[in-house]
Chain A
Amino acid sequence: MPVISDLRFPASAAGHSTMRALLSRPHYVDPDIFRREQVRIFGDLWIFAGLTNFVAESDQFLTRRIGGRSIVVQNFEGTPRAFENVCSHRSKVLQTGRFGRHPLVCGYHGWRYANDGAVATIPFASECYRLDPAERAALRLREFALCRIGKLLFVNLSESPRSIDDQFYPELLREIESASNAFDDEIMVTTVAGRYNWKLAYENLRDSLHPKFVHTRSLNLDVEFYDGVAAEPVADAREDGRVDLRDLSFGGAEGGFRRPRPLPFHARVARWGTEDAYFNWLLYPNTHMVCPDGGYSFSIEHHEPLGVDSTELTLFFATARRDPNFAGTDAVLWEYAKGAKTILDEDQAIMEEAQAGLDASSSAVVQGHFELQNRITDRWYLGQLQ
């Protein structure tokens, strides 16, 4: 963990503060820094990979790119496991498509893999390959640590993965476990590409002020976000100068409804909780879970960095578990997705404009008091990149 020399939020005696952002232009535009992030951040932390819904049955799989690698989570007779999704023979990607149901068999020459990643069968092995038995026995896919929290699956690429408790506080894990266990089996999924650095998305999500300006005709009409600005200057690192990784992820009820709108489907699903609130959970580094209506429906936004200024957003939408006789979830999810996309488009336009500004300018960014959470996150990030 990094040792921080500049410990405290710089505040004047009058309580006013102005501070230069810790991250500068290169952190958003420099390919070398992007490559270091892929190793030091995405190669070290637990990264959301998908939902258990997609690997619930034998031979079901999901694929993701994490830290620049293609990963497959494959169900082997009831047990999901995570492997590098690249054949040991000719390096062809094994499973294609985001989700599906297919044994872990390469489509090029039919190599089939067992649940420990070892090569189980090679067609025409003795006639055509004549591999040394010891070499063949050593052929196996690299396996990665896989952790399930409720219906959320996390993968860690590190050879000695940290405990997930070191990344997220137990209370947060319990809450996302509880909320995700309320998801229905039907999940709506799509992807959206954006021309912005992945960090801008989370700086925006941690910014409690932006809905008043960016979402004036959408989210801000419906949700009154609670005041996220601390009254007193707050330390942005602990007394010993360290930032706790767990402080980077947080969430819960973040707003109330300006105009409650009970919808017909509410009566047909098993509501999660009882609090009439807008819930947000940010799971560092790149996952955002939302419950916008007090426990009736949910969405997950997962930002996959493709390049220094290129991010692919995967969107998952779910209602709470539905009455089995209710056939209307498809229409409900579709209308929810269209509403959410309106808000996302507003955010994405801002992020792409911010990226364009970073591309074109070298001037430093200024942070205000309300952006303390971004500053804390940036401190940990900089230490991790060293």
Chain B
Amino acid sequence: MTLQQEPSVTGRPLVIVGHGVCLDACAAAWRDAQPDRRIDAIALETPDGFNRNLDPLRAYPHESWQAFAILPGTGINMARLKLMMDLKMIGYKLDSFVSSRAMAPSAWRPPENSFVSDGAVIGHSVLTKYNLFVGPRCVIGHGAKLGHSVWLDTGALVGAGVTIGDNVLIGQSAILADGITIGRHCELMVAGHYRESVDEKTFYNPMFPNPVRIYGSRTKS
């Protein structure tokens, strides 16, 4: 385990696109870490709550700019995943960020379009995929396996050997017990200790007193 002293620097300017407070927060962290790099942040309008108007990116040709997509983690990260895919379709090379105040094994490399915040700790033998967001002071235990588009909110603790599926939101201060499995397309937004595995397409949210679950032909009983 080493302190990540060298955030990724490619030399190319970076355009951070998205929406909301997290856009500003990511841009601020990136500028603080890489003061000599040109870093622009632009908020993209959405006509329908899902697709983003990419017209402002015409001023940032993909041949000379890198990009990073960040949106609030609502809608099980589907909108952020869509934005990331749109950027790749245009031809952008996507950058990632690891705070110098985060800790991770020296061999670990952040996957595409990922962000690791201050105070986060990533254990040994952790497997991660693209579009990852690790909030401040999160801990990912040794041997955990994370799918793509996983969002760990501030202070989330992922136990050793935990498996998390694709498009999963783990809320503030949620604690996942060692070895459990969180199925794909879940939101665990109620702070607390999750001691048992969670079926795919299950939603814990303070708006709902009981879990919300999707059943169907593609869901196991």
Contacts and interface: CB of A to CB of B under 8 A. Distances in A.
Partners in one complex: yes
Interface residues of A, number: 31
Given A263-B49, A338-B205, A101 B218 contact: no
Interface string A320-340: 000000001011011101100
Interface in B13-66: 48-51
B208 A331 contact: no
A11 interface: no
A101 B207 CA distance: 29
A190 B78 contact: no
A98 B127 CA distance: 35
B145 interface: no
Interface string A90-116: 000000000111000000000000000
Interface string A337-373: 1100110010000000000000000000000000000
B213 A330 contact: no
Nearest to A191: B210
Main secondary structure on chain B at its contact with chain A? loop
B215 A99 contact: yes
Contact of A189 (B78, B209, B213): B213
Given A53-B215, A335-B75, A100 B210 contact: no
A334 B49 contact: no
A186 interface: yes
Interface in B202-220: 203, 205, 207-219
A101 B201 contact: no
A190 B210 contact: yes
Residue from B48, B208, B213, B215 with most neighbouring chain A CB atoms (10 Å) = B215
Contact of B212 (A101, A190, A263): A190
B51 A264 contact: yes
Contacts of A184: 216
A192 interface: yes
B78 A188 contact: no
B176 interface: no
Contact of A188 (B48, B79, B212, B221): B212
A311 interface: no
B178 interface: no
Given A192-B208, A335-B75, A100 B221 contact: yes
B209 A192 contact: yes
B95 interface: no
B221 A185 contact: no
A263 B48 contact: yes
B86 to A, nearest CB: 13
Nearest to B77: A331
A349 B74 CA distance: 26
Nearest to B200: A330
A54 interface: yes
A190 B211 contact: yes
B76 interface: yes
A330 B214 contact: yes
Interface range on chain B (Cβ under 8 Å from partner): 20 to 34
B187 interface: yes
Contacts of B209: 192-193
Contacts of B49: 263-264, 335
A186 B78 CA distance: 17
Contact of B221 (A101, A186, A330): A101
Interface in A4-56: 53-54
Residue from B51, B203, B209, B216 with most neighbouring chain A CB atoms (10 Å) = B216
B214 A333 contact: yes
A191 B213 CA distance: 10
A189 B216 CA distance: 11
Residue from A99, A100, A328 with most neighbouring chain B CB atoms (10 Å) = A328
B217 A331 contact: no
Interface in B75-113: 75-76, 78-79
Contacts of B213: 188-190
Contacts of A193: 209
Nearest to A102: B221
Given A100-B221, A262-B48, A341-B207, A334 B187 contact: yes
Interface in A249-301: 261-264
A334 to B, nearest CB: 6
A261 to B, nearest CB: 8
A74 interface: no
A60 interface: yes
B76 A334 contact: yes
A264 B79 CA distance: 11
Question: 7 tightest CB-CB pairs across the interface, nearest first?
Answer: A186-B216, A190-B212, A101-B221, A185-B217, A331-B78, A331-B75, A330-B185
6 contacts: A60-B221, A185-B218, A186-B215, A190-B213, A334-B75, A334-B203
Interface of B: 48-51, 74-76, 78-79, 167, 185, 187, 201, 203, 205, 207-219, 221
Given A54-B215, A330-B167, 6 more contacts: A186-B215, A190-B213, A262-B48, A264-B48, A328-B78, A334-B76
